Amino acid sequence: MRLLLLMLGISTYVVGIGTHAEAQNYPWCLHYGTGFGGMNCGFTTYQQCMDTVSGIGGFCMQNNTYQPSPGSRPFTRVQRRYPY
Protein backbone atom coordinates (compact mmCIF):
# COMPACT_ATOMS: atom_id res chain seq x y z
CA MET A 1 0.00 0.00 0.00
CA ARG A 2 2.86 2.37 0.82
CA LEU A 3 4.56 1.52 -2.44
CA LEU A 4 1.36 2.31 -4.33
CA LEU A 5 1.04 5.69 -2.60
CA LEU A 6 4.70 6.42 -3.28
CA MET A 7 4.30 5.60 -6.97
CA LEU A 8 1.14 7.75 -7.15
CA GLY A 9 3.00 10.64 -5.53
CA ILE A 10 5.94 10.35 -7.90
CA SER A 11 3.64 10.14 -10.92
CA THR A 12 1.72 13.23 -9.81
CA TYR A 13 4.96 15.12 -9.29
CA VAL A 14 6.32 14.17 -12.73
CA VAL A 15 3.12 15.25 -14.46
CA GLY A 16 3.07 18.49 -12.46
CA ILE A 17 6.56 19.61 -13.48
CA GLY A 18 5.79 19.48 -17.21
CA THR A 19 5.43 22.59 -19.31
CA HIS A 20 2.30 24.59 -18.74
CA ALA A 21 -0.16 25.28 -21.53
CA GLU A 22 0.05 28.75 -23.01
CA ALA A 23 -2.30 30.51 -25.39
CA GLN A 24 -0.98 30.56 -28.91
CA ASN A 25 -0.86 33.85 -30.72
CA TYR A 26 -0.33 33.86 -34.48
CA PRO A 27 -0.31 36.67 -37.06
CA TRP A 28 -3.59 35.79 -38.83
CA CYS A 29 -7.11 35.47 -37.43
CA LEU A 30 -10.22 33.87 -38.90
CA HIS A 31 -13.52 35.55 -38.02
CA TYR A 32 -16.49 33.22 -38.33
CA GLY A 33 -19.06 35.49 -39.95
CA THR A 34 -21.18 38.07 -38.17
CA GLY A 35 -23.77 35.76 -36.60
CA PHE A 36 -21.54 33.96 -34.10
CA GLY A 37 -18.69 36.39 -33.65
CA GLY A 38 -16.20 33.57 -33.10
CA MET A 39 -12.54 34.04 -33.84
CA ASN A 40 -9.52 31.75 -34.30
CA CYS A 41 -6.07 33.35 -34.29
CA GLY A 42 -4.19 30.13 -35.00
CA PHE A 43 -2.86 30.75 -38.51
CA THR A 44 0.74 31.45 -39.42
CA THR A 45 0.09 32.54 -43.01
CA TYR A 46 -2.66 34.38 -44.83
CA GLN A 47 -3.02 31.50 -47.30
CA GLN A 48 -3.54 29.03 -44.46
CA CYS A 49 -6.35 31.19 -43.11
CA MET A 50 -7.94 31.62 -46.55
CA ASP A 51 -7.89 27.86 -47.14
CA THR A 52 -9.87 27.38 -43.95
CA VAL A 53 -12.31 30.18 -44.85
CA SER A 54 -13.05 28.54 -48.19
CA GLY A 55 -14.40 25.50 -46.38
CA ILE A 56 -16.43 27.09 -43.58
CA GLY A 57 -16.96 30.76 -44.41
CA GLY A 58 -15.91 33.92 -42.64
CA PHE A 59 -13.02 36.25 -43.34
CA CYS A 60 -9.33 36.65 -42.49
CA MET A 61 -7.55 39.63 -41.03
CA GLN A 62 -4.24 40.37 -39.35
CA ASN A 63 -4.03 39.80 -35.62
CA ASN A 64 -3.44 43.21 -34.03
CA THR A 65 -2.26 41.61 -30.76
CA TYR A 66 0.42 39.45 -32.40
CA GLN A 67 3.95 39.93 -31.08
CA PRO A 68 6.63 37.74 -32.65
CA SER A 69 8.99 35.96 -30.30
CA PRO A 70 12.45 37.53 -29.96
CA GLY A 71 14.12 34.61 -31.73
CA SER A 72 11.87 34.66 -34.80
CA ARG A 73 13.22 37.82 -36.40
CA PRO A 74 15.39 37.38 -39.49
CA PHE A 75 19.12 37.81 -39.09
CA THR A 76 20.37 41.14 -40.36
CA ARG A 77 24.00 42.03 -40.54
CA VAL A 78 24.95 45.33 -39.01
CA GLN A 79 27.22 47.28 -41.29
CA ARG A 80 29.74 49.24 -39.30
CA ARG A 81 31.42 52.27 -40.67
CA TYR A 82 34.87 52.94 -39.38
CA PRO A 83 36.22 56.49 -39.48
CA TYR A 84 39.39 56.85 -41.48
Please give the share of the chain, as a percent, with pLDDT higher than 90.
19
Between the CA of residue 37 and those of 26, 30, 60, 67, 74, what are the distances in Å? 19, 10, 13, 23, 35
The answer to whether the beta carbons of residues 65 and 27 sit under 8 Å apart is no
Stretch 57-75: mean pLDDT, rounded? 78
Q: From CA 2, how far away is CA 19, in angstroms rounded? A: 29
pTM: 0.52
Q: From CA 56, how far away is CA 30, in angstroms rounded? A: 10
pLDDT band at 13 (very low <50, low <70, confident <90, very high): low
Please give the share of the chain, as a percent, with pLDDT higher than 70.
62
